[in-house]
Amino acid sequence: MSSRLEYSIVDVFTDVPFAGNPLAVVLGAEALSTAQLQTLARQFQLSETAFPLAATPEEIARGVGYRLRIFTTTAELPFAGHPSVGSAWVMARLGRVQPGPIVQVCLEGELPLTVAPDGGPVELTGGRPFVSAPIDPAPLLEAIGLVDADQPAGSPPPRLAGMGLDFAYLPVHPDALDRARPDLAALRRLEPGAVAGPIGVYALAWDAAARTAHARMFSDDVAGGEDPATGSAALGLGVWLIESGLLPADGPSAYTVRQGVEMGRPSTLRCTVEAVGGAVVVARVSGAVAAVAQGWIEIPPA
């Protein structure tokens, strides 16, 4: 085995470099241990590092294109949006998969993607929909430096929701969204299963006429406490919007997420969600990808 691995750095949910959400995609890591993969993710110091791996013969027979393992600097994730989108784009760009429908296997399960030809956008289909009962907004507001008055009167209650990863969705005034600041200690105090879990607080200002959410995602798991583009949260937003009555309870709906503006990394996530009788049956998020860097990295010791 070579002592080095090939990697690409891409920006996801943007069509220009140095915007969107940066991602490291490391190739050829099939023989590495979990500890070695974690060491590489720590070295890149990005919110996530992705490792596309060869599918097993049984998976290939089912139409799987590749397996994907996703790591933050501290832990492995069962699923994440921008690593899934960015990895599929890199694999297609390098000719390792063909544009069109692709099935990716991660810890969450088998998830379909569609890669447009000629470096076009990638669309990701989410996993199992989940939405909770209303939750207390007070600890969520505290965790991002806001107060009760920063919530619009009559707005839907915060809830946990997700399609593979769960987030706490918190509607706020647009000017409050601009003023929000993560309190890492308060974010860490949010107990898994009780409020937001370890994933994060997704604060949003909803423009009903444009069906657009201006959003910010705060978590103590990402550098600086904020993520510039969160594909998994954009999928869960569709579940929250349906549950909150902000999108129709039946049929398909399109919506857009603008994120990362306050971080100087503007991102655009284009989404669709389909519901039957108020229950989400499928949601998808689509975005562009921009190449930034490519190179080789040494394999860490076992």
Question: Could you tell me the pTM of the whole model?
Answer: 0.94
CATH for 130-287 is: 3.10.310.10
* pLDDT greater than 50 at residue 194: no
Cite the residue boundaries of each domain of the chain with CATH code 3.10.310.10.
4-122+288-298, 130-287
Chain center to CA of 148: 27
* pLDDT greater than 60 at residue 1: no
DSSP for 181-202, please give it: ---HHHHHHSPTTTSSTTT-EE
In this predicted structure, what is the pLDDT of residue 199?
67
Chain center to CA of 236: 10
pLDDT in tens, 209-259: 999 999 999 998 888 899 999 999 999 999 999 999 999 999 999 999 999
Reported CATH class of domain 4-122+288-298: alpha beta
274 in active site: no
Token couple for 235: 């999928």
pLDDT in tens, 130-178: 999 999 999 999 999 999 999 999 999 999 999 988 999 999 999 999 9
What type of residue sits at position 35? A
Position 276 confidence tier, pLDDT thresholds 50, 70, 90? very high
Question: One of 6, 30, 48, 191 is an active-site residue; which one?
Answer: 48
H/E/C letters for each residue in 290-302?
Answer: EEEEEEEEECCCC
Instruction: Give the Å distances, CA to CA, from 293 to 10, 152, 164, 178, 229.
Output: 7, 42, 29, 31, 19
